[in-house]
Amino acid sequence: MKQQDQATPRIALVGHCGPDSWMLKGVVQRAFPGGEVVMVDDAATTRSEAARADLLLINRQLDGDFESCSGLDLIREMMAMKGRKAAVMLVSNFAEAQAQAVALGAVMGFGKSKAGGTAAAAAMRGAVGRQ
């Protein structure tokens, strides 16, 4: 991912249920005050956001209208997508799933149980080039 300018980042929450989306929205807003957060629950919008957003936070088990319920399958698709701008990160508490996502080309993510911590914020900022 290239170093981003200082424009407001756009973060897409992909395939999360309503309560988790709202929790993650707060987490993202604390990491990026003034940042734009969009909630995505379908494959077509995910593809569109991959070309627009700075970061896709993809759920391990997708909730919504996707070809597969696997976030790893979606990460595989996103990493192969031409014109993708967004960094890709998995949201999962499972180390094995995180390792698989990284092997596919995603940035190391975090689990929902640690989403409010400083490490998650640092990971997101690093993924969009804002240490």
pLDDT at 67 over 50: yes
Element (H, E) at 53: none
Residue type, 131: Q
Domain span including residue 116: 10-127
- On the CB side of 108, how many CA atoms lie within 13 Å of its CA? 9
Task: Give the pLDDT mean for 42-69.
Answer: 97
Tell me, yes or no, whether 44 lies in a domain.
Answer: yes
What pLDDT does residue 1 have? 38
Helix (H, G, I), strand (E, B) or coil at 93: coil
Stated pTM of the model: 0.93
Tell me, yes or no, whether 122 lies in a domain.
Answer: yes
Tell me, yes or no, whether 4 lies in a domain.
Answer: no
Helix (H, G, I), strand (E, B) or coil at 6: coil
Q: Look up the CATH number of the domain holding residue 110.
A: 3.40.50.2300
Task: Give the pLDDT mean for 2-20.
Answer: 81
Tell me, yes or no, whether 2 lies in a domain.
Answer: no
What pLDDT does residue 6 have? 54
- Tell me the C-alpha to C-alpha distance, in Å, between residue 13 and each of 38, 40, 49, 115: 6, 6, 10, 13
Q: Are strands 10-14 and 107-110 parallel, antiparallel or unpaired?
A: unpaired
State the pLDDT confidence band at 7, using cuts at 50, 70 and 90.
confident
pLDDT at 16 over 80: yes
Tell me, yes or no, whether 3 lies in a domain.
Answer: no
pLDDT tens-digit readout, 22-47: 999 999 999 999 999 999 999 999 99
Number of separate domains in the chain: 1
Tell me, yes or no, whether 5 lies in a domain.
Answer: no
Tell me, yes or no, whether 1 lies in a domain.
Answer: no
Tell me, yes or no, whether 29 lies in a domain.
Answer: yes
122 vs 108: CA distance, rounded Å: 11
pLDDT tens-digit readout, 72-118: 999 999 999 999 999 999 999 999 999 999 999 999 999 999 999 99
86 vs 131: CA distance, rounded Å: 17
Contact 28, 36 (CB under 8 A): no
* Residue (of 39, 45, 47) closest to 23 by Cα position: 39
What pLDDT does residue 15 have? 98
Task: Give the pLDDT mean for 7-25.
Answer: 95
